[in-house]
Amino acid sequence: MSSTAMSASTAPAAPPLSMPERDAPPDPGKQQPLLFCPFCRECFEGERECPEHELALVPFDQLPRDPELEGSDLPSHDEPVSMFEPRFGRGLVMAGVALSAIGFALPLLTITTATQTRTFSGFETATGPAPSVWTIPFVAAMFVWILARRRTPLEMLGARLVGVVFALAPLVSLVYTVLKVTKSAEEQSAQTGRLLEVGVEYGAGVLAIAALLLLAGSARLGVIPIPRGGPSSPEPASEQPKTKR
């Protein structure tokens, strides 16, 4: 065999021809991101430009500040506020937390026997005849955590339902405690034949007012008033996406 034939047989094979790559068609089963018009703030699905204003659509987090909020000190939906911001329901919640702490230290129940009368504060009631009263400082601490963590109007709106449920817990705990201690005192009085009465002190009223403030503040969390009238939601103008026409 000649040297020319040997060199031809050992030569590397040419690489196969490859077809030019094409963009893969969009998967109809895959959810397309929702984009918004920066002018009208409408949501469009399956579009790259606003069909009405011919502007490039942008993601929700890139929307410019709402023009209706320009010239005011109201925050946008994703703008954090101060921990001690009194607006948007936060002031009512802070007042409720403060009253809860004060009411927990005030007289809550009075137990009267034939020989003496003893008054229990909220703390003494929780460590003594009714441990369920610990619900009150626990709820107050949870609201402090909510105010510290939920700082933007959009985050505050997401905490409204949880706040309403938490605000009802102290009221339920107060009613349950008074009924439980009163029933227990009546049973002991009937068994022993001795005087045993339970009275409710003004601390219970303070705690009830605190719970109502927490409830009202929770219902208002994150609600931004529009200067031109009506409460504002931090959502864009359109809640339903418009499909491609």
Residue-wise pLDDT for 5-22, tens only, equals 444 445 555 555 544 444
Higher pLDDT, 79 or 28: 79
Rounded alpha-carbon distances, angstroms, from residue 163 to 85, 93, 130, 213:
17, 9, 24, 11
Q: Is residue 111 scored above 70 in pLDDT? A: yes
Asked if residue 201 has pLDDT above 90, the reply is yes
Which residues lie below 8 Å from residue 110, measured CB to CB, with a gap of 6+? 117, 118, 119, 120, 198, 199, 200, 201
- Percent of the chain with pLDDT strictly greater than 70: 66
* pTM for the structure as a whole: 0.64
| Higher-confidence position of 107 and 52 | 107
Number of Cβ within 10 Å of residue 52's Cβ equals 12
Selected residue with higher pLDDT from 28 and 207:
207
Output 65 or 199, whichever has higher pLDDT.
Answer: 199
Over residues 94-112, mean pLDDT: 95
- Over the stretch 57-97, which tens digit does the pLDDT of each residue have? 777 666 665 555 555 677 877 888 999 999 999 999 999 99
Confidence at residue 231, expressed as pLDDT on a 0 to 100 scale: 43
Predicted pLDDT of residue 123: 95
Quick: pLDDT tens for 213-245.
Answer: 999 999 999 888 765 544 444 444 444 445 444
Sheet holding 35-36, edge to edge: 35-36, 43-45, 242-243
Could you read off the pLDDT of 150-167 as tens digits, one per residue?
Answer: 999 889 999 999 999 999
pLDDT for the residue numbered 64: 60
Q: How far apart are CA 143 and CA 97, in angstroms?
A: 7
Count of helices and strands (H, E) across the chain: 7, 8
For residues 193 and 84, the model is more confident at 84
Residue 124 · residue 203 · CB < 8 Å: no
Residue 135 scores a pLDDT above 70: yes
Q: Find the mean pLDDT for residues 29-55.
A: 66
Return the higher-pLDDT residue of 185 and 2. Answer: 185
Give the count of alpha carbons within 13 A of 112, CB side only.
Answer: 6
Give pLDDT, residue 240. 46
